[in-house]
Amino acid sequence: MSTYTHRFRVNTSLDRVLEFHQDPRALKWLTPPPVIVQFHDFEPVAENSRVDFTMWMGPLPVRWVAIHSEVDPNAGFTDSQVHGPFKRWVHRHNFRRIDEQVTEIEDTIEAEPGSHPVWGLVSRFMWSNLGMLFSHRERVTRRKLESPAAN
């Protein structure tokens, strides 16, 4: 099993960060092109809530179903893949107030690639691109939450 962590600070309140991550559009905003996200089911983040979507990676559809757990309305949540390309995927979203207008966001992922010939390759490709994915997420989060129009 492998672990990946990405941490950054955003110049906005903890409340705004929490609100942003509750927005069903956030996953689409945080997914870099050319990947397209299509929702089948999206429940607001709550204990045992579910999100079901397909990521279109060009012509390849990757179905993903995750369950939310360890939901703390003041500190973050975990999403765990129950169906998708990985054998195991657990993503912890941690939010920490630095002061009234600065919040630290930390994403920690523990994952194990799938063993199916196709999905194993897909999961390894996805894992190898986490640095790019989370750099994109950091830029989008800052743009959405730090811009004057966002406040």
pLDDT at residue 147 in the model: 76
pLDDT reading at 101 higher than 90: yes
Instruction: Kindly report, residue by residue over 51-92, the tens digit of the pLDDT.
Output: 999 999 999 999 999 999 999 989 999 999 999 999 999 999
This prediction has a pTM of: 0.93
108's CB contacts (< 8 A; 6+ apart) are 3, 4, 5, 91, 92, 94
| Domain boundaries along the sequence of the chain | 2-150
CATH superfamily, domain at 2-150: START domain (3.30.530.20)
pLDDT at residue 150 in the model: 56
pLDDT at residue 118 in the model: 93
pLDDT reading at 120 higher than 90: yes
